[in-house]
Structure 1
Amino acid sequence: MPLFRRRGQEESQREPRRFIDLNDVKVEDEEERPVSYVRVAEVRRTDDLGRVRDLVHSGNIVIVDCTLVSSDEVVLKRIMDEMRIISRDANGDVAGLSKSLFVLTPQGIKIDRNKIRSQV
């Protein structure tokens, strides 16, 4: 018996309590965002790799475009060395797609260097 009752309302006149089984309730989920993205970064100097480092460490795959500095071998070598350091620190992988395109992956994603060839 409850301690407080509304005046003039008897026990038998009250509505029975209704309970909702939460397993039966269907709630529309919010639009789920992908955990990681494939991003493209255009690099002109080694300072531009700071943003690339942040992207890789947060779980994104980054395609690094170095075409603007591909003619300068010294800068390109420094960028490649820095990308190796980033991939090692992130426990990921780095591979070249061409002379000026590279792929950096985060932890848990490795790059297969075997080419898939046609069977002609």
Structure 2
Amino acid sequence: LPESTLLQAVTNTQVIDGFFVKRTMDIKESAGYLALLTKGLERLYQAQSVREVFARQLMQVRGLSGEKAAAVVDRYSTPASLLAAYDACATAKEQEMLLSTIKCGRLQRNLGPALSRTLYQLYCSHSPLS
């Protein structure tokens, strides 16, 4: 792999994709950096339950408000419980629509098929989301 190709990939990752790229001298320094980063994340999130982190994760999806995330988490309190519900579905269509009838907010409206499909793709797809 030419060095120019590698440098272009690093630049694209930082500028286009918005990621921070940490450059290290060797694998030992990389491992040390990852250990330090892991400890920092553990301290940051140690007081949060899986349910809280799951709700925050759900709210990163476009169109999924706090009320909608709360409704999903009321039914499936962890990602594992949601995945188990997907596994229990008989067909892919049933999986896609699993969350569509969850009632959300003050008016108790359905979550809807579009968000249900998006969440199904997020949690069950093995390929990049479109």
For the superposition of Structure 1 and Structure 2, which TM-score range results when normalised by the shorter chain? under 0.3
Q: Which has the higher contact order (CA 8 A, sep 6+)?
A: 1
Higher Cα Rg, which structure: 1
Whichever structure has more strand as a proportion of its residues is: 1
Q: Compute the TM-score of the two structures, normalised by the length of structure 2.
A: 0.23
Whichever structure has more helix as a proportion of its residues is: 2
